[in-house]
Amino acid sequence: MFATLSDRLTATFKNLRGKGRLSEADIDATAREIRIALLEADVALPVVKEFVAAIKERARGEEVSGALNPAQQVVKIVNDELVAILGGETRRLRYAKSGPTVIMLAGLQGAGKTTLAAKLALWLKEQGKTPMLVACDLQRPNAVQQLQVNGEKVGVPVYAPEPGNGVGDPVSVAKASIEEAKRKLHDVVIVDTAGRLGVDAEMMAQAAGIRDAVQPDEVLFVVDAMIGQDALVTAQAFLDGVGYDGVVLTKLDGDARGGAALSIRQVTGRPVMFASSGEKMTDFDVFHPDRMASRILDMGDVLTLIEQAEKAFDQEEALKAAEKLTGGDFTLDDFLSQMQQLKKLGSMQKILGMLPGMGQIREQLENFDEREIDRVEAVIRSMTPAERANPKIIDGSRRARIAKGSGRTVSDVNQLVDRFFEARKMMMQMAKGGGMPGMPGMPGMGGPGGGKRVSAKQKAKQTKGKGARKSGNPAKAAQEAAAAAAKAAEAKPNPFGIGQDIDYEAAAENLELPKDFSKFLK
């Protein structure tokens, strides 16, 4: 969603790199580019003016003029201001001290309230709560049935005493749902209300009636992030007519410019609490202003990636895989298991998009074929257990059979086997502390500043036919010879248990030193 804005801001900051100090012209040019980027992203004009003024004021201050790297300091200022207009701190749900916590959803028709209700219920369920969904959208055709289907998907009960499709009183249903929740010991009630194609008095009156009937702990305004500037008009109308405590942005995975997300907090004063970014029920999470700002500036969102990985990955399986790597018996079965866990994280495009700097290869990410993992899985499953355990036995005829069984070509099988051996070699090196090969300046890595990890066998080959290195300093050389003799004595100890004596003069003579250096040995 923020791709255009992110690209413009990244290009703007590139112009600042390498400058020891920023002139007034540099600051004005940067502010102008940021203003254009925000306006193109559909951010409200009052928000743009306030945002740019704050950046210019801070950029002219001491924190930039006295900084070692002014350009990086400007990026930090933009990041801070983005976090501020997105809400500053993460806003969490308030739970009732006694009785069920009631969460009411409000918004326009088509914003995705019914789907979001089920997503929120699943998220609460994962937090250890026992939610119940309430069908109070009795106007839209099949809205009740849609909520029931979604509730079944996430394993959450739905209270729907009325069939809907224009039949029933939503206020009575909402009121009765609280007693039902108490009776069945549900600690959270999520009320899905009706929406309209536009803001009207009847819709506002109905939403206000439900609010008064259930006295919700949280009223969440659900807004489609793709409707642009109109989102602000709608948000203000709902704030005046019904009132709400927080905002939920839906369809953040769309191709809209994202200005609503940046404007709604500043205009309404209500924080964005949750974000929905996909069609799956798991594509829902708490909205973190600092992480969203980091994504916009192409600095990634590693914290969210770690949190998702912790939920998706089996810790025991990961430990077993790590042990196998260090032991050198990592097989294609283990590789397949790791890939299946990776699939649980969701779209590879989303996962890779959370890494810093991925905006520079956005086109390649967008062209990534999500089915590639399925194809690899098909090839591995076409192998016998023996072949998966020891891929070295996969010869030409076996590769032809595997290709035929998986519906792939022999070259695909060849590529998979070759990549597996390369990946296993690299992962074993990393597991043993060797680090990533080819990276400079780190232990166990090739390249400048890092020593290449060499096995004992390789060392033997390298030193074969060469004499041991001798120091040019005769005194030091004598000490080295003595140390070598002592080490040999330890390896083959004297049978009488007495340390062997070392003839230092003989050791010195063996060094074949010039006569002039003999005085240093006395």
The CATH number for 157's domain is 3.40.50.300
pLDDT given at position 156? 93
Mean pLDDT for the stretch of residues 488-514: 49
Clarify whether residues 55 and 123 are in a common domain. Answer: no
Top-confidence residue, 386 or 108: 386
Lowest mean pLDDT among 95-104, 254-263, 397-406: 254-263
Residue with the two structure tokens 């109109």: 230
What average pLDDT does the segment 301-310 reach? 64
Q: 268 and 124, same structural domain?
A: yes
Same-domain check for residues 80 and 106: no
Note whether residue 90 is domain-resident: no
The pLDDT > 90 percentage for the chain reads: 12
The average pLDDT across 457-484 equals: 54
Same domain? 178 vs 151: yes
Q: Are 131 and 138 in contact (CB under 8 A)?
A: no
Q: Do 137 and 262 reside in the same domain of the chain?
A: yes
Angle at CA 250, nearest 5°, toward 248 and 256?
125
Q: In terms of residue numbers, what domain contains 159?
A: 101-299
- Please tell me the predicted confidence (pLDDT) of residue 322: 66
Q: pLDDT-based confidence at 451, cuts 50/70/90? A: very low
Residue 47 lies in a domain: yes
- Of 85, 117, 148, the residue at which a domain comes to its end is 85
Q: Is 199 exposed, middle or buried (0-12, 13-18, 19+ CB in 10 A)?
A: middle
201, 291: one domain: yes
In a domain, residue 247? The reply is: yes
How far is the C-alpha of 498 from the C-alpha of 154, rounded, in Å? 77
**Choice between 509 and 161, residue whose per-residue pLDDT is larger:** 161
Q: Is residue 444 over pLDDT 70?
A: no
Give the model confidence (pLDDT) of 168-221 as tens digits. 888 999 999 999 999 999 999 999 988 766 667 777 888 888 888 889 999 998
| Within-domain flag for 130 | yes
**Mean pLDDT for the stretch of residues 411-421:** 87
Higher pLDDT pick, 118 / 232:
118
Is residue 47 predicted with pLDDT exceeding 70? yes
* Number of independent structural domains in the chain: 5
Share of the chain above pLDDT 70, in %: 65
> Average pLDDT, stretch 50-74?
74
Give binding residues for GTP as ranges.
107-114, 192-196, 250-253
Q: How confident is the model at residue 277 (pLDDT cuts 50, 70, 90)?
A: confident
- Binding site listing: 107-114, 192-196, 250-253
Alpha carbons 113 and 355: distance in angstroms, whole number: 30
Instruction: Average the pLDDT over 243-252 and give the result.
Output: 85
Between 168-177, 248-257, 434-443, 501-510, the lowest mean confidence (pLDDT) is in: 434-443
Of residues 490, 522, 492, 491, the one with CA closest to residue 508: 522
Q: Verify that 195 and 257 share a domain, yes or no.
A: yes
Note the pLDDT of residue 19.
Answer: 67
User: Half-sphere exposure of residue 221, counting CA atoms within 13 Å on the CB side?
Assistant: 29
Q: Say yes or no to pLDDT of 234 above 60.
A: yes
Ranked by mean pLDDT, which of 97-101, 198-202, 486-490 comes out on top? Answer: 97-101
The verdict on residue 308 lying in a domain is: no
Q: How confident is the model at residue 253 (pLDDT cuts 50, 70, 90)?
A: low
My answer on whether 154 and 279 are in the same domain is: yes
> Please, are residues 322 and 430 in contact by the beta-carbon 8 Å criterion?
no
Residue 326 has pLDDT above 90, yes or no: no
pLDDT level of residue 337 (50, 70, 90 thresholds): confident
pLDDT confidence of residue 35: 85
Phi and psi torsions of 291, nearest 5°? -70, -40
In this structure, the answer to whether residues 229 and 155 fall within a common structural domain is yes
Euclidean distance between CA atoms 225 and 116, whole angstroms: 13
Structural domain includes residue 467: no
Least confident piece of the model among 77-91, 245-259, 407-421, 502-516: 502-516
- Is the separation of the CB atoms in 417 and 394 below 8 Å? yes
Task: Give the pLDDT of residue 133.
Answer: 94
Residue 469 is assigned to a structural domain of this protein: no
Residue that is written with structure tokens 């005085």 in the block: 519
248: three-class secondary structure by DSSP: strand
In this predicted structure, the answer to whether residue 132 has a pLDDT above a threshold of 90 is yes
Residue 91 lies in a domain: no
| Cβ-Cβ contacts under 8 Å for 254 (sequence gap 6 or more) | 1, 225, 226
pLDDT at 359: 57
**Res 493 pLDDT > 50:** no
3-state helix, strand and coil shares in percent for the chain, rounded to the nearest 5: 55, 10, 35
Cα dihedral sign, 164-168-171-173: negative
Residue 121 scores a pLDDT above 90? yes
Total number of residues shown for the chain: 522
Q: How far apart are CA 310 and CA 312, in angstroms?
A: 6
CATH of the domain at 373: 1.10.260.30
Residue 430 tokens read as 């990393």
Note the pLDDT of residue 25.
82
Least confident of 47-51, 383-387, 402-406, 456-460: 456-460
Please state the pTM of the whole predicted model. Answer: 0.61
105 and 211 both lie in a single domain: yes
Same domain, 452 and 489: no
**CA 302 to centroid of chain Cα atoms:** 4
**Which range has highest mean pLDDT (172-186, 268-282, 447-461, 463-477)?**
172-186
Identify the band that residue 503 occupies on the pLDDT scale cut at 50, 70 and 90. low
pLDDT at position 130 is: 92
Q: What is the pLDDT of residue 254?
A: 60
342-397 tens-digit pLDDT? 777 766 666 666 666 655 665 666 666 677 788 888 889 899 989 888 888 888 89
**Same domain? 46 vs 17:** yes
d(CA 122, CA 251) in angstroms, rounded, equals: 18
